[in-house]
Chain A
């Protein structure tokens, strides 16, 4: 390759590096847009200490320049998450994010029906009911826990395991659910004959 060119571009990129935060500004595909205004290099960008943060962040939010600290962390934690964090008075808080706890009553009712169906041995009906709940609140780990149990009872161990794993992925910040899901995974793997995997899952469920 052309070394002169390379070294030139290297030098240029270094200069760009000196310019500080500016590499967020160069538009690439969309040049017709108004440029995003970046603070001059060298300025200290204060981290916004948002007063409206009512729900303690359960995860770190990514920061994006120049709109550092978008308010993402203060809103819309899945409803199950909020409930687990504020079990005492969820309704008292006027600035609760948009998923109301009331929408949960439908899910609770459906999961109750599903439990009854499963109790009668009607797993097909139970599956229908849990799936209906899943469509209403697809990020609620409780639903995955129950769906995994139904699939296990139907002896669909592969699917049961996958559903439970997805439940684990969705129960970030909800240690109780995570433990229950790992316990369910241990059960699934035991019944499927995967004793090594079951022991692992059991260990996960006992992790503090």
Chain B
């Protein structure tokens, strides 16, 4: 081997020798030095080559997955929803689901052949299952032998990656997992002598020269697959002669060290196949996803032929932009495969009859969730080094629900379009963001940071810090309810003016400018009265409200000014979601989670983000607060939502409008969905609508599509319901006008009882409303007439 090397080098110096003897002696010495240097260079090159080939050959970007869709009988899931999930996974709709990655549609029934997936907590096998649907939910799951399954899950949709600086996206594949036709096609098209040459093919070069001469132009290159690999793999893209000269010895060295199979596998994973914006598509596994939206193993003959044909010029033959050229190229590859006996005539005829089958770029889930990937990356970067994320093939399992995301993105877009239409120029340049979580688990289901959910820019869900207005009130009212106020405590709704610590005067107004006199506490909340809230806040003290906000989950520092009572606090939608999450979970704060697990490429767990919580308030006080927040939706500022949503949804939430109507907010939850919506403008100008006019409309549309479960406020032990007259703050009877059933922390209920006509009766401490029977009530009512 050393001999060979020296020979190659000395050939060069011989050419340069001249008739001058002394000079030739000098040159001989020089060439000796040169060949030693070249030899050393080759040894160095050899070492590098092996190092690179055997070490980290490719930087594998981290893969980020959506939540897997869990399938179990009883799950609320429409056939429409599972269709969009399967489309996201690139399933092919067929008549018979007989291969992994296929699905067949029937009435009330979907058959599918899952691909199986290696989850961090266990493998899900690939299998044929049949799903039965009725009334918008999944009724049954049966396997191919007719047995019923209690639980299975689909593979998760890949929603993005974390790429290194050069933006190479790659998915690795083993030669054994590649359909045999692909290497066949590569050899047929690019390097017929692959199995016979030693890295460079003299026959190939000769043929290339012959073809080029005959054609009178450069029509065919003589590079072997090995040379192409070297070129892509080790050398930079600049095409200097030195590079070209290095390519030959390196190709030979590579062949000396590695088998044809290893070289072929490397080639399959290295080859450049196209460009998606800044993202370079490398390797056939990635190419299959990029062009066909399906895994490589599931591609058919004509699709494999197209990809093999693309190598020559991914941009020139781009099947999306140059379908005619691409088809011609593909058919040529099919012809070569036929001529060389890799396929038969039937395969060939079937292949050329097929369309290109390329999926639209936009239909891929990659690029659909920029705001969500943003929050995932921020969290990962706190714990991992950038190079580990973009090169180690880390797998990230997130909590994103693509179906919820689709609803959120649609709701925001359609409602903002509607507002723009309604308000004309005044409604132009509206922007918005939506955060959706599961109120029971704290998992972030969707995040939309722009009116165009695909826009990868300013992420308003995380980075738009805007005054939250009345969204702050629940913190204040919860403090009050904790310190002994009841839902019917009378609040003073009269004007107030005071000087703030910075010298400015603070003089809040009600929305309609009218003081309301004296109002029960729950009503001040449900109607979002500012004056009574301000008085209540002053009574509680600003420190207590700041503390409460921190307990509820606000981490940033909060300026302790009285204007805080009415929401002079700028938070991002995600921070607001954290506050309402705690309220929705009966006073248990749980950090919002967007990641469940991180594993390495071999499925070893790197980190997990378990379900964590911390009780920050008495569930009784939170129950009272939620009564007030349900009143917001039932009869207060958000009641328009029941024009669209079912009355038994029991929505709990709050509208918010900042000073001069610059921000329109709504934060609210049902049994299994919590959403925060912000609508406003990037330049912070006034809006022609309030929280209920803008954000609430988006929220309502989102929930209309989601069809969530109703919110059930479980009654803690220390809570009891009483029929009261909230104005008079007395116990009364259910049938009396204006009486309501209101929860109280036991012992805090009014002691006086009044009949429907307003007459005072003996204090009744041992009879709660719920204890009293209808007979009692009728009797009381009857007695009332004779007093």
Q: Do A and B come from one complex?
A: yes
**Chain A 104-134, CB within 8 Å of chain B: the 1/0 string?**
1110111000000000000011011101101
* Residue A12 CB within 8 A of the other chain: yes
Nearest A residue (CB) for B585: A166
**Chain B 438-455, CB within 8 Å of chain A: the 1/0 string?**
101101000000000000
Among B683-724, those with CB < 8 Å from A are 690-693, 709-710, 712-717, 720-721
Contact between A109 and B151, CB atoms less than 8 A apart? yes
Q: How far is the CA of A170 from the CA of B74 in the complex (A)?
A: 21
Q: A24-B635, A29-B657 are known contacts. Are A128 and B121 too (CB-CB below 8 A)?
A: yes
* Residue A193 CB within 8 A of the other chain: no
User: What is B's interface to A at a CB cutoff of 8 Å?
Assistant: 70, 72-76, 120-122, 137, 150-151, 438, 440-441, 443, 494-495, 510-512, 515-519, 523, 527-529, 585-588, 596, 605, 608, 610-615, 619, 627, 630-631, 634-637, 639-640, 647-648, 650, 655, 657, 671-672, 690-693, 709-710, 712-717, 720-721, 727, 734-738, 740-743, 756, 769-770
* Residue A196 CB within 8 A of the other chain: no
Q: How far is the CA of A89 from the CA of B122 in the complex (A)?
A: 35
Contact between A163 and B639, CB atoms less than 8 A apart? no
Contact between B647 and A67, CB atoms less than 8 A apart? yes
13 further interface pairs, Cβ-Cβ under 8 Å (given A46-B735, A75-B710): A30-B690, A32-B693, A60-B715, A60-B769, A63-B740, A64-B634, A65-B738, A67-B635, A103-B75, A131-B610, A136-B70, A163-B611, A172-B714
* Residue A165 CB within 8 A of the other chain: yes
Among A131-188, those with CB < 8 Å from B are 131-132, 134-136, 138-139, 147, 159, 162-163, 165-166, 169-170, 172-173
Q: How far is the CA of A60 from the CA of B722 in the complex (A)?
A: 9
Nearest A residue (CB) for B441: A138
Contact between A162 and B588, CB atoms less than 8 A apart? yes
Contact between A128 and B120, CB atoms less than 8 A apart? yes
Q: Which of B495, B518, B648 contacts A13 (CB 8 A)?
A: B518
Nearest A residue (CB) for B75: A103
Contact between A159 and B612, CB atoms less than 8 A apart? yes
Q: How far is the CA of A77 from the CA of B712 in the complex (A)?
A: 7
Q: How far is the CA of A169 from the CA of B615 in the complex (A)?
A: 10
Q: Can you pick out 9 interface pairs between chain A and chain B where the beta carbons lie within 8 Å of each other?
A: A10-B517, A28-B528, A41-B738, A62-B627, A62-B713, A67-B635, A76-B709, A77-B712, A163-B613
Contact between A9 and B735, CB atoms less than 8 A apart? no
Nearest A residue (CB) for B494: A6
Contact between B756 and A64, CB atoms less than 8 A apart? no
Contact between B611 and A103, CB atoms less than 8 A apart? no
Shortest A146–chain B CB gap in Å is 12
In this complex, the interface size class of chain A, counting residues with CB under 8 Å from chain B, is: 35 or more
Q: How far is the CA of A56 from the CA of B495 in the complex (A)?
A: 46
Contact between B150 and A28, CB atoms less than 8 A apart? no
Q: A6-B494, A30-B692, A169-B586 are known contacts. Are A131 and B611 too (CB-CB below 8 A)?
A: yes
Q: How far is the CA of A184 from the CA of B9 in the complex (A)?
A: 80
Q: A59-B715, A138-B441, A169-B716 are known contacts. Are A132 and B121 too (CB-CB below 8 A)?
A: yes
* Residue A26 CB within 8 A of the other chain: yes
Q: How far is the CA of A14 from the CA of B122 in the complex (A)?
A: 67
Q: How far is the CA of A106 from the CA of B138 in the complex (A)?
A: 13
Nearest A residue (CB) for B530: A28
A59 cross-chain contacts in B, Cβ below 8 A? 713-715
Q: A9-B515, A10-B517 are known contacts. Are A134 and B121 too (CB-CB below 8 A)?
A: no
Of A129, A136, A138, which is in contact with the most chain B CB atoms at under 10 Å from its CB? A138
* Residue A21 CB within 8 A of the other chain: yes
A173 cross-chain contacts in B, Cβ below 8 A? 714-715
Nearest B residue (CB) for A74: B648
User: What is A's interface to B at a CB cutoff of 8 Å?
Assistant: 1, 6, 9-10, 12-14, 16-17, 20-21, 23-24, 26-33, 36, 39, 41-47, 58-68, 70-72, 75-78, 98-106, 108-110, 124-125, 127-129, 131-132, 134-136, 138-139, 147, 159, 162-163, 165-166, 169-170, 172-173
A12 cross-chain contacts in B, Cβ below 8 A? 517
Q: How far is the CA of A163 from the CA of B495 in the complex (A)?
A: 45
B713 cross-chain contacts in A, Cβ below 8 A? 59, 62
Nearest A residue (CB) for B770: A60
Q: A26-B527, A44-B737 are known contacts. Are A16 and B517 too (CB-CB below 8 A)?
A: yes
Q: How far is the CA of A72 from the CA of B650 in the complex (A)?
A: 7
Contact between A172 and B518, CB atoms less than 8 A apart? no
Q: Which of A33, A76, A105 contacts B639 (CB 8 A)?
A: A33
Shortest B249–chain A CB gap in Å is 51
Contact between A136 and B709, CB atoms less than 8 A apart? no
Q: A136-B72, A147-B611 are known contacts. Are A169 and B121 too (CB-CB below 8 A)?
A: no
Q: Which of A31, A76, A136 contacts B710 (CB 8 A)?
A: A76
A129 cross-chain contacts in B, Cβ below 8 A? 121
Contact between A166 and B692, CB atoms less than 8 A apart? no
Shortest B787–chain A CB gap in Å is 17
Q: How far is the CA of A135 from the CA of B74 in the complex (A)?
A: 14
Contact between A64 and B740, CB atoms less than 8 A apart? yes
Q: How far is the CA of A147 from the CA of B151 in the complex (A)?
A: 20
Contact between A106 and B72, CB atoms less than 8 A apart? yes
Q: Which of B517, B619, B637 contacts A14 (CB 8 A)?
A: B517
Q: How far is the CA of A138 from the CA of B712 in the complex (A)?
A: 13
Contact between A44 and B151, CB atoms less than 8 A apart? no
Q: How far is the CA of A191 from the CA of B715 in the complex (A)?
A: 30
Q: How far is the CA of A159 from the CA of B610 in the complex (A)?
A: 10
Shortest B520–chain A CB gap in Å is 9
Q: Which of B76, B672, B690, B714 contacts A169 (CB 8 A)?
A: B714
Nearest B residue (CB) for A165: B615
Shortest A37–chain B CB gap in Å is 12
Q: A6-B494, A16-B517, A64-B635 are known contacts. Are A21 and B611 too (CB-CB below 8 A)?
A: no
Q: How far is the CA of A36 from the CA of B691 in the complex (A)?
A: 19
Q: How far is the CA of A39 from the CA of B74 in the complex (A)?
A: 41
Nearest A residue (CB) for B639: A36
B121 cross-chain contacts in A, Cβ below 8 A? 125, 128-129, 132
Q: How far is the CA of A134 from the CA of B640 in the complex (A)?
A: 33
Nearest A residue (CB) for B634: A64
Shortest B696–chain A CB gap in Å is 8
A30 cross-chain contacts in B, Cβ below 8 A? 637, 639-640, 690, 692-693
Contact between A166 and B586, CB atoms less than 8 A apart? yes
B518 cross-chain contacts in A, Cβ below 8 A? 10, 13
Contact between B630 and A64, CB atoms less than 8 A apart? yes
Q: How far is the CA of A37 from the CA of B323 in the complex (A)?
A: 63
Nearest B residue (CB) for A32: B693
A21 cross-chain contacts in B, Cβ below 8 A? 737-738
Q: How far is the CA of A134 from the CA of B596 in the complex (A)?
A: 13
Contact between A62 and B743, CB atoms less than 8 A apart? yes
Q: A10-B517, A47-B735, A163-B613 are known contacts. Are A29 and B691 too (CB-CB below 8 A)?
A: yes
Contact between B74 and A100, CB atoms less than 8 A apart? yes
Contact between A98 and B709, CB atoms less than 8 A apart? yes
Q: How far is the CA of A139 from the CA of B441 in the complex (A)?
A: 10
Q: How far is the CA of A105 from the CA of B152 in the complex (A)?
A: 12
Q: How far is the CA of A133 from the CA of B519 in the complex (A)?
A: 45
Q: How far is the CA of A104 from the CA of B605 in the complex (A)?
A: 29
Q: A60-B715, A139-B440 are known contacts. Are A29 and B528 too (CB-CB below 8 A)?
A: yes
Q: Which of A76, A78, A135 contacts B70 (CB 8 A)?
A: A135
Those 9 A-B pairs whose CB atoms lie nearest each other, nearest first: A13-B517, A103-B74, A60-B721, A138-B440, A59-B715, A106-B72, A172-B714, A64-B634, A128-B121
Q: Which of A29, A103, A127, A128 contacts B73 (CB 8 A)?
A: A103
Contact between B613 and A62, CB atoms less than 8 A apart? no
Q: How far is the CA of A171 from the CA of B247 in the complex (A)?
A: 72
B671 cross-chain contacts in A, Cβ below 8 A? 76, 139
Of B72, B588, B608, B735, which is in contact with the most chain A CB atoms at under 10 Å from its CB? B72
Contact between B494 and A28, CB atoms less than 8 A apart? no
Q: A28-B527, A138-B440, A172-B717 are known contacts. Are A105 and B647 too (CB-CB below 8 A)?
A: no
Nearest B residue (CB) for A59: B715
Q: How far is the CA of A101 from the CA of B73 in the complex (A)?
A: 9
Nearest A residue (CB) for B522: A62
Q: How far is the CA of A28 from the CA of B693 in the complex (A)?
A: 12
